[in-house]
Amino acid sequence: MKKKALTARKAGLVACTVCHLLSPDGAGRCPRCGAALHSRKPDSIARSWALVMAAAILYIPANVLPMTTVTSLGMVQSDTIMSGVVYFVQSGSWPIALVIFVASVFVPLLKLFILSYLLISVQRKSHFRPKDRTRLYLITEAVGRWSMLDIFVVTILVALVNLGALATIQAGPAALYFAAVVVLTMLAAMSFDPRLIWDVKEKMHE
């Protein structure tokens, strides 16, 4: 930037993250909506890292353990997330396979990588394309919730296929781990503060 950028923090102001009201620094709570005011989200990097790592660890059992267990006339069959995708590919409905693969495998993994990258870039005080990194963050934050898809599919299958001895579907342990991954990555994205990406610009002018 050629022009010197004035941020709220430099002007001694804090913007409320919910209602956008500007308050003098040190106000504590937003006088309008009551949200806690922080110039930057507190311990943003540490919190996001903790949540990203917890999610990364839980991502393993979520993919290895069975998501659902089908019992049909005494036959028991367990399915993981990937075997569900493979089933759809083999039965020819590859658009559905793609939807499940993107929502359950690709997006959570991509989210973990993007958040890690953003955290590392902020910690190394990177100047690399802040505008694109902000956009990357906004996209990550917006798409993360769609990973809940598989949890809802399990909920519906469990409700529908419940015919006693004939056929039942039970939720497997992976469902719990996977739900935890989705919730933790959502919280990790919420704890990350995109303003940190821009703070290096400010330092440069000092």
Residues 98, 137: Cα–Cα separation, whole Å: 24
Binding mask 100-119 for another protein (x = CB under 8 A): x-------------------
For 62-106, the DSSP string reads: HHHS-SEEEEETTEEEEE-HHHHHHHHHHTT-HHHHHHHHIIIII
Taken in order 154, 159, 165, 171, the sign of the CA dihedral is positive
- How many residues bind another protein, per CB under 8 A? 65
Buried b or exposed e, range 43-62, using 16+ CB within 10 angstroms: ebbebbbebbebbbebbeeb
Q: Rounded to the nearest whole angstrom, what is the least distance from the CB of residue 173 to another protein in the complex?
A: 9
Q: Does position 204 bind another protein by CB under 8 A?
A: no
Structure tokens, 54: 């917890």
Residues 63, 28: Cα–Cα separation, whole Å: 43
3 state SS of 106: helix
**Region from 44-52, 55-63, 118-126, 164-172 binding another protein, contact rule CB under 8 A:** 164-172
Residue 30 carries which DSSP code? -
Q: Rounded to the nearest whole angstrom, what is the least distance from the CB of residue 61 to another protein in the complex?
A: 14
User: Which one of 75, 131, 165, 203 is in contact with another protein (CB under 8 A)?
Assistant: 131
Which uninterrupted H or E stretch holds 110? helix 107-123
User: Which one of 50, 53, 65, 96 is in contact with another protein (CB under 8 A)?
Assistant: 96
Q: Does position 76 bind another protein by CB under 8 A?
A: no
Q: Does position 36 bind another protein by CB under 8 A?
A: no
Q: To which residue do tokens 């000092």 refer? A: 206
Q: Does position 64 bind another protein by CB under 8 A?
A: no
User: Which one of 18, 60, 64, 204 is in contact with another protein (CB under 8 A)?
Assistant: 18
Buried b or exposed e, range 98-130, using 16+ CB within 10 angstroms: eebbbbbbebbeebbebbbebbebbeeeeeeeb
Binding mask 181-200 for another protein (x = CB under 8 A): --x--x---x---xx-xxx-
**Region from 31-39, 45-53, 57-65, 113-121 binding another protein, contact rule CB under 8 A:** 31-39
Please give the residue ranges that form the binding site for another protein (CB under 8 A): 1, 5-9, 11, 13, 15, 17-22, 31-35, 39, 88, 91, 93, 96, 99-100, 130-131, 134-135, 137-138, 145-146, 148-153, 155-163, 166-167, 170-171, 175-176, 179, 183, 186, 190, 194-195, 197-199
